[in-house]
Structure 1
Amino acid sequence: MYRSLIDTLKRNSDLSAQCQPVNQPSSRVISAAASEDVSCEFGSGKYYGYCAFGGLLSCGLTHTAVVPLDLVKCRIQVDPAKYKGIVNGFKLSVAEEGMKGLAKGWAPTMIGYSMQGICKFGFYEVFKIMYGNAIGEENSYLYRTSLYLAASASAEFFADIALCPMEAVKVRIQTKPGFASTLRGGFPIILKEEGIGGFYKGLVPLWCRQIPYTMMKFACFERTVEALYKYVVPKPRADCSKSEQLGVTFVAGYIAGVFCAVVSHPADTIVSKLNTEKGSNFVQAAKALGFAGMWKGLGPRIVMIGTLTALQWFIYDTVKVAFRLPRPPPPEMPASLKAKMEKQS
């Protein structure tokens, strides 16, 4: 699947390179990108295509790699009386289904989160440039955190629509006794018993979980990277090697991931509960869980999401490096804004 997407990107590279983006990035970004050895223009169709491919790899590979931890986390959330903790959850799961059982749900995870990654990272780049051009260069600097939040929320709205059907199948495979153990077996069951709506019954709580998560993921990452280069790394990013830059990316990604896990965990628990009980809605599931119940499984999720987020940013940045995508410079005050401030003082 990944190989075919690479081939498609390469076949379309000449056409994409000729396409001009609807919203042009600022002159500062253009001049910075022009000074680098890049393979495409910042904000071009080809640029967005590679960003989407980076998102596919970063989300698809990482979520599939942590399926065993995700399985135990979901079981703790749905049946805390039986699965009392992460160690106990692993022991019981292996005792009942063997080591092979820890991989249950890998197929819908890989497909669903690959689709989500395409939308999440690809649309984030689109919306960030679109919104930035709409408010202007000065406001993009002054309100850059709000810009990151708005762009990531918009991207995740569409990403969750792509993810939701596979998430529904995955949760039931992992947590519902007697349900099918494969995507091929589980998908037709939901379609037959509940129709198309069965795949989207968890969409609203998924938005409640993923949109705050993604807003934190992108805004916290962007500002943490900015802070690391300003206060921790002893030299500007332009003077750092690619490996040093990727190291900063990993650290910033892990810090962002910890905050993401805490912010989105209650909604994540409700999603797991909803996909295992027929007829319940968001409010009913929340009441049944109670406040304390919505925080079950937070420990393993912090480990999982922290590692996931760090690896996702690392993979995404590695794709940008591998395909020589232009990298906008760190945020700095525009000259026009500096002149205004000097004039006022």
Structure 2
Amino acid sequence: MMRTKGGVLEEFSPGYYGICTVGGMLSAGSTHLAVTPLDVLKVNMQVNPIKYNSMASGLTTLWKEQGPSSLWRGWSGKLFGYGVQGGCKFGLYEYFKKLYSDVLGDYNRSFIYFLSSASAQVFADVALCPFEAVKVRVQTQPNFAKGLVDGFPILYRTEGLTGFYRGILPLWGRNLPFSMVMFSTFEHSVDLIYNQVLQKRREDCSRAQQLGVSCLAGYTAGAVGTVISNPADNVVASLYNRNSENVLQAVKNIGFANLFTRSLPVRIAIVGPVVTLQWFFYDTIKLLSGLPSSGGLNRRMEEANLST
């Protein structure tokens, strides 16, 4: 049974983590689904940069050669794969943040944010990896499969279980730095906005103000995290499409400078709004459930920090 306090769901109860998990699943799955056309373009720009050399020409080429439906190829992988990943990422982040703040006490906040997000992301990417493996192939190989339902058995027959996790290391290489930077940037941005801009406690702000803070901090966090994770994102696309057999070969084929620049504009166009909307939907669900909006450590540590 969920613990409640005064009829309101209590923080750090099993129900609290359940709400965070469901909120993360719904927010991540829906937002990633919405930007599927940009994701299709991004992956094709990474795999075939000569043919798809810009956002405008790339979209035009896909539309003309493969039809408008091609822009939604892989939508099921985006919806379900990133939904599962988002549930693990947000739910486990809240759990690990409470766990590590209790264990480490008044240790450096950034370290707790880094450690919590990294721990959550490891499990989230294990859940995402099979969906991502099928999605990338569906988006870049029109004859591979139509979606997850036929894509999973085809990939298993042709490559076995290893095919689903071929990209797990570069996926961690992409998402671990992104998640660590994104969550930490979000947390510090929230503190900065409340303390320096609004100069009000979260509890004294309206729901609209709290959601505004979440959106502003979320966009900042998404933009910073995108730049950090771009090299690994290019490696992931190359490995999944068998353009390279290992990470070192992928780096050599892509080129060191191109790791940082290839598909970066379209990734920023995708990730910034996606992360912003994720935090908006996630915190909306939390507020409607009677929980506080995101940001900050557990209350005991917050009080200790305020007293110092």
Mapped to 2, the partners of 1:85 and 1:17 lie a distance apart of: 52
Q: 5+ residue gaps in structure 1?
A: 1-14, 19-33, 339-345
| Residue in structure 2 matching 1:170, options 126, 131, 135 | 135
| Residue in structure 2 matching 1:134, options 103, 120, 129 | 103
Q: Is 2:45 aligned against 1:73?
A: no
Aligned to 2:22: 53
| Residue in structure 2 matching 1:84, options 53, 57, 63 | 53
Post-superposition CA distance 1:247-285 (Å, at most 9, x none): 111011001110011000110011011111177011211
Aligned to 2:200: 235
Letter of the structure 1 residue corresponding to residue 54 of structure 2: G
- Which ranges of 4 or more aligned residues in structure 1 deviate by more than 4 Å? 326-333
| Residue in structure 1 matching 2:274, options 308, 312, 321 | 308
Post-superposition CA distance 1:140-168 (Å, at most 9, x none): xxx11111110000000000000000000
Contact 2:24–2:83 (Cα < 8 Å) also in 1 = yes
1:1-345 to 2 correspondences below 5 Å: 15-17=1-3, 39-136=8-105, 138-139=106-107, 143-277=108-242, 280-294=245-259, 295-326=261-292, 332=302, 334=304, 338=308
Mapped to 2, the partners of 1:335 and 1:251 lie a distance apart of: 24
| Structure 1, 234-243 or 198-207: larger mean CA deviation | 234-243
Mapped to 1, the partners of 2:2 and 2:204 lie a distance apart of: 30
Mapped to 2, the partners of 1:336 and 1:72 lie a distance apart of: 47
Contact 1:38–1:326 (Cα < 8 Å) also in 2 = no
Structure 1 residues 58 and 134: alpha-carbon distance in aligned structure 2, compared to 1, 3 A threshold: same
1:335 is displaced (CA, Å) by 7.0
Structure 1 residues 337 and 325: alpha-carbon distance in aligned structure 2, compared to 1, 3 A threshold: closer
1:329 is displaced (CA, Å) by 8.2
Contact 1:108–1:183 (Cα < 8 Å) also in 2 = yes
1:322 is displaced (CA, Å) by 1.0
Structure 1 residues 122 and 38: alpha-carbon distance in aligned structure 2, compared to 1, 3 A threshold: farther
RMSD between aligned alpha carbons?
1.9
Contact 1:51–1:121 (Cα < 8 Å) also in 2 = yes
Rg larger in structure: 1
Helix, strand or coil at the partner of 1:181: coil
Mapped to 1, the partners of 2:250 and 2:294 lie a distance apart of: 44
Contact 2:181–2:225 (Cα < 8 Å) also in 1 = yes
1:235 is displaced (CA, Å) by 3.2
Mapped to 2, the partners of 1:158 and 1:235 lie a distance apart of: 36
Mapped to 1, the partners of 2:145 and 2:270 lie a distance apart of: 25
Give aligned-pair identity as a percent: 44
1:39 is displaced (CA, Å) by 2.3
1:17 is displaced (CA, Å) by 2.2
Letter of the structure 2 residue corresponding to residue 84 of structure 1: N
Helix, strand or coil at the partner of 2:195: helix
Mapped to 2, the partners of 1:291 and 1:44 lie a distance apart of: 46
The number of residues matched between the two structures is: 303
Structure 1 residues 330 and 52: alpha-carbon distance in aligned structure 2, compared to 1, 3 A threshold: closer
Structure 1 residues 335 and 67: alpha-carbon distance in aligned structure 2, compared to 1, 3 A threshold: closer
Letter of the structure 2 residue corresponding to residue 303 of structure 1: A
TM-score, normalised via structure 2 length:
0.93
Contact 2:211–2:293 (Cα < 8 Å) also in 1 = no
Helix, strand or coil at the partner of 1:195: helix
